[in-house]
Amino acid sequence: MDIKELFTFDDVLLVPRVSRVSSRKDVDTSSNLTPEIRLSIPIMSSNMDTVTEAVMAIAMAKNGGVGAIHRFSTIEEEAEQVRKVKREQSAVIGRPYSVSPYSTFAEIKKFVDETNITSFPVVDRGKLVGIITKRDFQFEKDEKKLVKDLMTKDVITARVGISIQDAKKILTREKIEKLPLLDSKGKLVGMMTAKDIRIAESYSNASKDKNGRLIVGASVGIGSDYLERTKALIEAEADFIVVDVANGYLQKTADAVRSIKKTFNVQVIAGNVATKEGVENLKRAGADSIKVGIGPGGACLTRTVAGVGYPQLSAIIECSKSGIPIIADGGITKSADFAKAMAGCADIVMIGSLIAGTDESPGSIVTKSNSNYKFYRGMASVNAFASKALKLDEDVDIGGYTPEGTEMLIPYKGSAIKIINNLVGGLRSAMTYLGAANIEEFRKNARFVKLTEAGKRESKYL
């Protein structure tokens, strides 16, 4: 039997090159997530239920990366997370929340609590008839009163397609905060707000779609509902779908990819695999990008339980030879790992445990022994499996389930953006050492050297 010598991040170092790059600020870190989606920074937050919901996805996209919403929820819950991201930072809000003139004040209060929005256009049979804001009902006591009796009826509007600059002039001149957008028939088709315009202009490197909204992905499995779930997520305007399977070698994974690509016009990311054979199988099925990593994640027990895996750096290098964007999923514990993954020809790096335990990750902070923590778990852990079954009302045998993921409390870390900035700073530094002005040059200039045990100690890896 031929046994290969394979490597992970701490086994190697990058070799410096003579560099004409004068500053870390001068390098371009942009890279392709899929053939149609390019990110300013090559980082994607993991589609895990203790890592990425709307808050994390928003933070990632605002800062040039992207997030993928996890699938361990009902279809409607996941779709709503996508909608929250798409509404967050768009100069134009498509499909704005609206209310009927015959809704009661009690219904409005409930809607405010559900959406955290305090003003709504009032629409009757598709046409705008007014607008109701917090100032219209902040002192109202009668919960039976109808919206039509509370709303502002004279509404300043604009035609859909108006430029941001012209919209700003109207908002300033009329001293209003919201500008409903109507089509030629007077139907409400969008909304512009002063707040959204200010926010949209403040994040110059944000990951945005063609309409200026934040980019977000969402996950599906390979169970019986994956087409139904995909349809709902696309209707919620997810920019890409992640076919999320721990074992991407299953034929059902390729079948799901093929079916989604045949049914919908959407970019599809599939995985996980760790060899060129696995990449080629999913590529033939129609995947636009492949997640690479079997067992390197901080909460993954696949290698311990099944004895299956592939050292992550070698997996990235091998899988990158197939000519399709590669997402390195797992094993990133520091900025040096990030740089080595990108030098090894990853197009994007996915991170989970690094940004779990942050302000943006789902879950509450808990205190133990005077220290603060947040909960983190692998998606193949017992509780994740049980939680998914409970939410989706599935009849499963927990006792017969062998977990390939673990669960833990991890120290509270503050803002995820600080961690992201440190990762990108390390990548920028590595690029200057290798004389690379962009990611393509970085890969071309990269040479790795193997470390001895003494070399690992010298590098502070032991």
Instruction: State both tokens at 82.
Output: 């996508």
Q: Which of 182, 241, 300, 332 is catalytic?
A: 300
Q: Please write down the HEC assignment for all residues of 204-267.
A: CCCCECCCCCECCEEEECCCCCHHHHHHHHHHCCCCEEEEECCCCCCHHHHHHHHHHHHHCCCE
Q: How far apart are CA 310 and CA 430, in angstroms?
A: 25
Could you give the residue ranges of the DSSP H alpha helices within 5-64? 54-62
Q: Is 300 a catalytic residue?
A: yes
Q: What are phi and psi of 65, to 5 degrees?
A: -100, -150
Residues 6+ apart with CB under 8 A from 213: 86, 87, 88, 89, 90, 92, 94, 237
Token duo for residue 38: 């390019």
Residue 20, burial from CB neighbour count under 10 angstroms (0-12, 13-18, 19+): exposed
**What type of residue is 357?**
G
Q: Going by C-beta distance under 8 Å and a sequence separation of 6 or more, which residues neighbour residue 172?
A: none
Q: Rounded CA gap, 190 and 188, in Å?
A: 6
3-state percent helix, strand, coil for the chain, nearest multiple of 5: 35, 20, 40
- Identity of the amino acid at 320: S
- Tell me the backbone φ, ψ of residue 292, rounded to 5 degrees: -115, 125
Residue 128 per-residue DSSP state: E
Q: Strand order in 93-94's β-sheet?
A: 93-94, 188-193, 178-182, 158-159
Alpha-helical segments (H) within 271-391? 276-285, 302-306, 312-319, 335-343, 382-391
Cα-based angle 81, 222, 72 (whole degrees, multiple of 5) = 35
| Enzyme catalytic residues | 300
